[in-house]
Structure 1
Amino acid sequence: MIEVDELTKRYGPTTAVKGLTFTVRPGRVTGFLGPNGAGKSTTLRLMLGLHTPTGGTVTVDGRPFRDRPRGLRHVGALLDAAEVHPGRSAAAHLAALARSNRIPRSRVTEVIEEVGLAAAARRRIGAYSLGMRQRLGIAGALLGDPPVLLFDEPLNGLDPEGVRWVRGLFGELAAQGRTVLVSSHLMSEMEHTADDLVVIGRGELIAAESLSAFAARGGGGGVTVRTDEGERLAALLTADGATVRAEGGLLTVTGTDAGRVAELALDHRILLGELTTRTASLEDAFMRLTADRVEYTAGENR
């Protein structure tokens, strides 16, 4: 579990993180979202003790990460896939990490095979593609078999097969009871991957809740109905507590579900030509709730 309490980080006059408070729970994949410049990377570095907070605290399983003498056994992290020596091989890089954290050498072979780099384990990292470096970074995070894992933009450079593999990996890790925090700007992937979301903007907390609850804020959910008796059905739905908007021959209904719409139509012998449930959009909710927290906006004259 990761617990963040009133976490603040200032760099001179600039406040990168301001009073963040949230909890990342085990057994779930938590997406960490925010516009560019929101403070996501700074927050991850504060979690790992790479930066010192100006105020507040962040603990991993009840202790600051800096208090862990063999860190990789407690927290695995991928922050930047490029931060490796290009002249080393993947096997040598991971072996060095294993030695410094008293992790058995056999574990190096296991994680190399798990991330699909067995055939390239002896090649120099400088010759790796970005996708291969991402796989190596994930191997490093998994090396100590830790209960807590942090990933910053882990899907960059991965091909479709790699994206599907990573998506499944995160789900497996959470199913094992681990705490998994994934920072990403890819809304579509978060919809497929995350159970919960923490969303920040300009260093401040916007939301910390389930993905479904956050997506519902976008206003994109509801039911679409087509019928020749739209006015009559709209009156029945409104009396039942729903909100109805008529556009042409369609009714857009919120505040109820498709089952209740069908039930009312059947009870009053109203023939339906179409009844469709519309899914709330994570992207719509994100854009709506972070609109005033975006540091750089395309198309604006400043």
Structure 2
Amino acid sequence: MIEVHELTKRYGGKTAVDRLSFTVRPGQVTGFLGPNGAGKSTTLRMILGLEAPAGGAATVSGVPFRSHSRGLRHVGALLDAGQVHGGRTATAHLSALARSNGISPRRVEKVLHEVGLADAGRRRIGGFSLGMKQRLGVATALLGDPPVLMFDEPVNGMDPEGVLWMRRLFRRLAAEGRTVFLSSHLMSEMENTADQLVVIGRGKLIAAESVREFAARSTSLGVVVGTRQAAELTAVLTAAGASVEPEGSAGAEKLVVTGLPTDRIAALAFEHRILLTELTARAPSLEEAFMELTADSIEYQAGQTR
């Protein structure tokens, strides 16, 4: 388990992490979301003792990470796949870590096989693609067979097969009862992989809840209604208290209705003899909820070009 309590970090006059508190529990994949500059990487580094907080504390299995001797047996982490000595082979890199952490050398061959690098163990890391370096980073995290695992943007540079493999790996690790904490900008991956979310903006906690609960916060939820009598239906639904807008480029033949459930819309259309060609409840969107709830926390916003 990872526990963060009132964690704070400042760089000069800038507060990167602001009294942040959350818990990452075992047996599930917890996603870590936030806009660029939100403080995610800084938080991960403080959990691992790589940055000293200005206030608060972070513990792994009840104690600060630095209190764990032979750390790879307790926490496996992939923060930056590029931070490896390019002149070493993958086997040499993992063997050195295994020796310093009291890990059996047999684990080196095992984790290389598990991440798909069994045939690349004697190759120098400097010649690896980004996707291969990511796999090596995962192998490093798994080396000590730890109960807690942390990954920062692990699917960068991965091909579709690699992304699917990563997704299945995270789910399997959580099913084994491990604590899996995953930071990513890819909403599709969070929807397909994570059970819980921790969402931050400008270093502050925005939400700590299930993926389903967070997605349901989106105000874009509604019902898509197709009809060739859009003007008449809009008047009827508006009078009943709904909000009605045309859907994108579909023009006036498709409407997005909020404020009324599908059965009420259908009943009103039937009552006023309006033919419907579609009546579909929109599923909650994680991406829409994220964009809405972090809108005030985006540090760098692009302007519109003309």
> Structure 1 length normalisation: TM-score?
0.89
Aligned partner of 2:289 in structure 1 is 285
Mapped to 2, the partners of 1:231 and 1:203 lie a distance apart of: 43
Contact 1:226 1:272 (C-alpha < 8 Å) held by counterparts: yes
Aligned partner of 2:138 in structure 1 is 138
1:245 aligns with 2:244: yes
Matching residue's letter, 2:82: A
Mapped to 2, the partners of 1:101 and 1:296 lie a distance apart of: 41
Q: 1:134-283, aligned counterparts within 5 Å?
A: 134-226=134-226, 230=233, 234=237, 238=240, 243-245=242-244, 247=246, 248-250=252-254, 252-254=256-258, 258=262, 260=263, 264=267, 272-283=276-287
Q: 1:91-110, aligned counterparts within 5 Å?
A: 91-110=91-110
The alpha-carbon distance between structure 1 residues 117 and 70, as it changes in their structure 2 partners (threshold 3 A), is: same
Mapped to 2, the partners of 1:14 and 1:267 lie a distance apart of: 59
Deviation at 1:297, TM superposition (A): 1.4
Mapped to 2, the partners of 1:136 and 1:275 lie a distance apart of: 48
1:296 aligns with 2:295: no
Quote the RMSD (CA, aligned, Å).
2.5
Mapped to 2, the partners of 1:66 and 1:30 lie a distance apart of: 22
Deviation at 1:221, TM superposition (A): 2.4
Aligned partner of 1:121 in structure 2 is 121
Deviation at 1:220, TM superposition (A): 2.5
The alpha-carbon distance between structure 1 residues 100 and 266, as it changes in their structure 2 partners (threshold 3 A), is: same
Contact 1:18 1:203 (C-alpha < 8 Å) held by counterparts: yes
Mapped to 1, the partners of 2:118 and 2:260 lie a distance apart of: 52
Mapped to 1, the partners of 2:276 and 2:158 lie a distance apart of: 45
Matching residue's letter, 2:292: R
Q: Which runs of 5+ in 1 are unaligned?
A: none
Deviation at 1:108, TM superposition (A): 1.0
Mapped to 2, the partners of 1:54 and 1:232 lie a distance apart of: 57
Mapped to 2, the partners of 1:190 and 1:160 lie a distance apart of: 15
The alpha-carbon distance between structure 1 residues 224 and 170, as it changes in their structure 2 partners (threshold 3 A), is: same
Count of equivalent residues: 296
Mapped to 1, the partners of 2:11 and 2:158 lie a distance apart of: 33
Deviation at 1:263, TM superposition (A): 8.1
Matching residue's letter, 2:56: G
Q: Equivalent residue of 1:37, what SS? A: coil
Contact 1:234 1:251 (C-alpha < 8 Å) held by counterparts: no
Deviations 1:53-85 (A, max 9, x none): 111111111111111001111110001101111
Deviation at 1:217, TM superposition (A): 2.2
Deviations 1:163-187 (A, max 9, x none): 1110111111111111111111122
Deviation at 1:249, TM superposition (A): 4.8
Deviation at 1:142, TM superposition (A): 0.8
The alpha-carbon distance between structure 1 residues 261 and 166, as it changes in their structure 2 partners (threshold 3 A), is: farther
Q: Equivalent residue of 1:273, what SS? A: strand
Deviation at 1:251, TM superposition (A): 5.1
Matching residue's letter, 2:13: P
